[in-house]
Amino acid sequence: MGRTLSAGWLRKLQGLLQDLPAGLLPDALLPSALRTRPSIPEELWSSTLARLPFLDYLSSDDRRRLKALCEDLLHTKPLGGIGGFEVDDATAVLIAAQACVLVLKLDLSLYDDMSAILVHPDAFQVKQQHLDDAGVMHEWDEQLAGEAVDQGGAVVLSWQDLMQPQEPGLPWNLVIHEFAHKIDMGRGSPNGFPPFLDRLHSRAELANWSEAFCAAYDDFCERVDRLEDSLPPDFDPERDDHAELYDALAGELPLDPYAASDAAEFFAVASEVFFVAPARLAGAYPEIYRLLAAWYRQDPLMTADSAR
Ligand SMILES: [Zn+2]
């Protein structure tokens, strides 16, 4: 997310693209003007929706609109593999459906800042830097399943991670997480405060956004602190029994502990849970659920039956 890819990673990325022999650049990476607008075959569309049971709340009209948005996204944004990976149609549509559900009742222009969607075969290593309060620069390598690069950058996704089955109720979704970051970047650096659109958003409904998100974020950080305080003094995440204990404790939290990293991660993780496990978010942070429902202009808690 807000973490900028290191120069080394960007060189690696450019290298991967330049390594492709001329003429073998995937069609999907051609400038959009050279591509025709795709039409997703009905069979592929049905199988995509079957793999995303959390979308069951959408009405038939919403599903048709989602399909049209996917076709627009695939037409206007370059999407292709890196690291020797080739993206097939099923993967492209699977990514597009999850990316577009965020903007289903909004506007695809929220992704104007995104240059491309790149798919790596598995998790990738990125060099991270952080300047602490004492002015000391810390550098470390981090293994990532996804990354949204700000300032016009791409969204990079690990194919292995995005292909994990989307079991109902599990509170995470890689694609929604990274595209929520992209939306958050619409105002510049991500800060958990996505742009309000004049035509589509009611400022009155969203008036207490900062206040409510700050309060929920502080509360969640306290919950994560309490979890960490309850770990054994010799806690070692590499130990299987300790990792199991951590997972059990983290499973009781309404959001993944990663949401406590900063306000931007809190917004991205809350957006994931809003779409894939809405009852969980509404139960723990009802005001955050209400605000996200007002911002996304959707209510995933509605069952498919009542939506039709
Ligand atoms: Zn993130």
Q: What is the pLDDT of residues 274-285, one digit of tens each?
A: 999 999 999 999
The answer to whether 45 touches 67, Cβ cutoff 8 Å, is: yes
Beta-carbon count within 10 A of 136 CB: 8
> What does the DSSP 8-state code read for residue 143?
E
pTM listed for this prediction: 0.86
> Please, which residues bridge with residue 141 across strands?
127
CB 106 within 8 A of CB 296: yes
| Residue 266 CA, ligand 1 centroid: distance in Å | 8
Strand order in the sheet with 117-120: 79-81, 117-120, 155-158, 146-148
| CA 43 to centroid of ligand 1, rounded, Å | 33
For the chain, the C-alpha Rg in angstroms (whole number) is 20
209-246 residue pLDDT tens: 999 999 999 999 999 999 999 898 888 888 899 989 99
Rounded to the nearest whole angstrom, what is the distance from the C-alpha of residue 307 to the centroid of ligand 1?
Answer: 31
Task: Report the first-to-last Cα separation within the chain, whole angstroms.
Answer: 36
From CA 206, how far away is CA 300, in angstroms rounded? 18
Q: 62 CA to middle of ligand 1, Å?
A: 27
How many angstroms is it from 74 CA to the middle of ligand 1? 23
Q: What is the Å distance from ligand 1's center to 241 Cα?
A: 27
Listed in sequence order, the residues at least 6 apart from 244 whose beta carbon sits closer than 8 Å to its beta carbon are none
Cβ partners under 8 Å of residue 299, min gap 6: 57, 293
Residue 34 has pLDDT above 70, yes or no: no
CA of 181 to the centre of ligand 1 (A): 7
34: CB partners within 8 A, 6+ apart: none
Give the Å distance between the CA of 207 and the centre of ligand 1: 25
From the CB of residue 262, how many other CB atoms can be counted at a distance below 10 Å?
Answer: 15
**Residues forming beta bridges with residue 155, ordered by sequence position:** 117, 148
CA of 1 to the centre of ligand 1 (A): 5
- How many angstroms is it from 33 CA to the middle of ligand 1? 31
Rounded distance from Cα 182 to ligand 1 centre (Å): 10
pLDDT at 308: 42
* Chain segment 95-119, per-residue pLDDT in tens: 999 999 999 999 999 999 898 999 9
